[in-house]
Each structure stands twice: as C-alpha cells, then as structure tokens.
Chain A
Amino acid sequence: MPPQILFVLLLILIGGLFHIIPLLTRPDLFFAVTVAPEFRRTSGARRILSRYRAIVWSFTLVASGLELVSGMAVAAVLLQVMGFLWALVGGHRAALAYAASPSSILEVDLAMPQERLPGGPIVALLPVLFLGALGLWVGFHRDRLPPQFPVHWGLHGADRWVAATPAAVFGFLAIHAFVCLLLVGLAWGLLYWSRRISTTGVAAAAERRFRRRVVQFLIVNAYLLVCPAWFGLFHPAAAVINIWGLALATVVVAFAVSLMRGGQGGSRAAVAAGTAPVGDRTPDACWKWGLLYINPADPSILIEKRFGIGYTLNFGNPWTWVVLALLFVVPAAGFLFLR
C-alpha cells in the first residue's frame, strides 16, 4: 500500500478519535464545562456536538487532500490538529452558556488507603536499572559493539544509523533511561501528586481501577522501551524489532480501548451503577479554553483532563514548570550528543 494512502488512513483514524472524544468525558462535563448530567441529551448539546464534529471532519478531509496532492505530511497533521483545537475551543465557548454551578461540597474518605506502584518502586525502576547496567557493561566491552548502530526505525526497519562513538552510545542509552524514568515518574505522580475525585462506592472503585490501568500502561511501556536499546546495540540488523513494534502497538491499542470503555476516571461504571456525578471537583474558571488547567491554589501537579481520556498538568503549580523544563533540557542534550 502506498505510504500516502496509509497516512490518509491514519488521519481518518485520528479524525475518528476526535469524533468520539466528547463522549468519553465525565457525564457532568461537556466541552470542559460543568453542566447538568442530563444536558447531553438536550438539543443545545447536540447542536454544539454536531458543529464540533463538522469542523473536525472538514479539517480531516482537507488534511487528507493535502497529503494526497502534495505529500506534505507534517502540514497535514498540523492542519488537522488546528481544526480540532478550533472545534474544541468553539464547543467550549458555546457550552459556557449552559454552565451549571458545581457543588461547593468537597468530600474525602479518611480511611481510603494510598495507592502504590504495582510491584513496588524496584519493579517499576527495573528498566532504568537494566539500562544503567547495560551502560556499565558497554563501558568495559566497547570492542564488542558494531561500528554503527540504528537510532531510528520506520516501517521497513532501521532507517537512521550513527557511528558507535562513546558519546553516541551513552547518549542513546541515556535517552532511553530518561524516557523510562519519565514514564515511571509519571506513574508515581499519578498516585502521589494527583487528586482522587470520587471517595466512596462504585465511583471510587472505578476511578481506582482507571488510575491503576494508566499506571500499568506507563510501567509496561517503560519495560518495552528497553528492547530498542538492546536490539540497537547488539542486534542492529535483526528483524525482531518488527515484533517489538507490533507488541508496542498491541499494548497501546489494548490499553486505549480498555480506558475508553471505562470513560474518563472510570465514570461509565459509576453512571451505570446510578451514582450521582460529582464532576472533577476543579473550578471551571481555572480551565483556559477547556484545555489548560491553571490553579495556583491547587497543590495537584497532575489532574484529570476535562476533554478526552487521561491526565494533564496543573500549570499553576511551580513544580509543573520544573518538570517541563527537565522534559526539554534532557532531550535537547541527548539530541546534541547524537548529532
């Protein structure tokens, strides 16, 4: 299949994801605005949703045409994302007219135990430790490395190679270790630096399950990330990397489907059990365009997204900026090493 057709199919898949995203949020949040749970079934909500979808699909169509005619893949993706953002912000503004005042009551179950990393911190950090050990071994056995090793793989195998200089080898391992550490750090942050919204009953259990699944997803990906470092240095030409790619794609799809079925924060299970919705216990005023959460009074660093599945950062917390700075500085240093 020609790569352009494949890319267009990918754009259509992303368009499909954008199409269903508004349905995955908590029932009393609509385009990141707190609304009455029954609002979704009104004509006002349907009108906002239809307009959002019309914009999303229009931009997907134009982006696909751009890709087919000119092959400008990056421009096509940017166009599609811009369309999505435009549709989202428009939907958010329209939904503000129907905003309900959220409950001012906050509840916490004092007996609710602190959730922990699955298997403990050592199990979560094993990939990082393994990469560290690999770096140590390489330091003593550089003569056993090939003269060149791949640093990027495409659909047809390795497509970018670099000379196995000490800087390149250690930079390559350091980048993998950094990303593993980042994934484990995110998992830890979700457990220790994010708010638990539901406190009792089915809703709390569903939310715990949702969070545990996200944490498992992050840890499994940290483990999977060790493979390209290993294959790159020791089996650079092996086709086994394709199996790894397939495994990674399977894991991502399996977790994505599982999370989507549960809805944001496992809210679908709570709705099915007839539990009264509680929103996400964040003030509407702190959500800019429904996307960015900026609340200096909230100590959480990670917070449930109001639009879509997963978590986002509280940009009002100074620690968020420290994390973001690290996220840019370390990859930039790694890029300089591998140039």
Chain B
Amino acid sequence: MILRIDLKSPVPVYRQIVDAVRILLVNGQLNPGDSLPPVRRLALDLGVHFNTVAEAYRTLEEEGWLEIGRRSGARVVARTVSNRCDPATGEAFQRRLREMVAEAQAQGFPRSRITRELRRLADTLERS
C-alpha cells in the first residue's frame, strides 16, 4: 500500500495525498476497518507539514471515506453511495477526462499509449 507524491507536481501535496488514498480505497486495497497512519507519522515520513496531512484526512472524512477519532486516528469506514449518477457529475467527469487526455497529448504522450491506459482502467473497473 504505497502512497506516492511528487514534490515537483503542480498539484498541491494535500490534494495528491487525497487522490492517492482515494485510489487505494476505490481499488479495495483499503477496506472498512483499516487504519491509516496517524497524521504525525505520515507527515514525518513524507517530510511535509502536519496541517497538509490533516487537511487531506479531513477532505477524505468529508467525502465519507474516513472517520477521524482523537485517539484512534483515521479509520476507513463503510461508505454508501447511490449508483444514480446526476447529470452534473457525469458532465464534470467527462470534461475532466477530456482535459486529462488533451493534456497528455500536449505533453507528447502517443495516442496508442493513452488508449491502452484507458482500456486497462476500464478492464480494472469492470472486474471490480
């Protein structure tokens, strides 16, 4: 369960932590009942400010993934989401996906590679 962040990325570190942990949650590598390292521990290991990790945990708590206790730390909780997709979320998802693909193409990523990555993601989603 490796959490990886890039200090040179334009994405803020707290956002990278949120995104990385969310991937682990969605992929089932983190399950309800699992604990995450305490804020202090994760901040020390990453070498970032405590507030950065605390902010990331708070965001995940607001999304309903985590429960943060004063003594027990951050714990993954069962999250119920409806399968009903509202149009705004669907549109935002499509827009972000197009933006990402365009950005990858602009950076010189070959189309075949992008297609391959999207297909692999789709296969993973179907299997899960």
Contact = CB atoms under 8 A, between A and B. Distances in A.
Interface stretch (B45-53, B82-90, B113-121): B45-53
A195 B44 contact: yes
Interface in A228-286: 281-282
Contact of A300 (B4, B5, B47): B47
A38 interface: no
Given A110-B24, A194-B44, A299 B49 contact: yes
Interface in B1-17: 1-9
Interface residues of B, number: 26
Q: Describe B's contact surface by its main secondary structure.
A: mixed
A39 to B, nearest CB: 22
Given A195-B47, A281-B47, A300-B44, A110 B36 contact: yes
A108 B7 contact: no
Contact of A199 (B2, B9, B48): B2
Contacts of A106: 4-7, 46-47
Given A110-B36, A196-B45, A297-B49, A104 B7 contact: yes
Given A104-B8, A110-B24, A110-B36, A299 B43 contact: yes
Contacts of B24: 110
B85 to A, nearest CB: 30
B95 interface: no
A109 interface: yes
Q: Describe A's contact surface by its main secondary structure.
A: loop
Contacts of A43: none
B47 A298 contact: yes
B48 A108 contact: no
B49 A108 contact: no
Contact of A282 (B1, B2, B47): B47
A123 B122 CA distance: 54
A106 B44 CA distance: 12
Interface in A281-324: 281-282, 297-300
A223 to B, nearest CB: 28
16 contacts: A106-B46, A107-B4, A109-B2, A110-B21, A110-B24, A110-B30, A110-B36, A112-B37, A114-B38, A192-B40, A193-B44, A195-B47, A298-B47, A299-B40, A299-B49, A300-B44
7 pairs of A and B residues whose beta carbons are closest in the complex: A104-B8, A104-B7, A110-B1, A108-B45, A111-B1, A108-B3, A298-B47
Interface of A: 104-112, 114, 192-196, 199-200, 281-282, 297-300
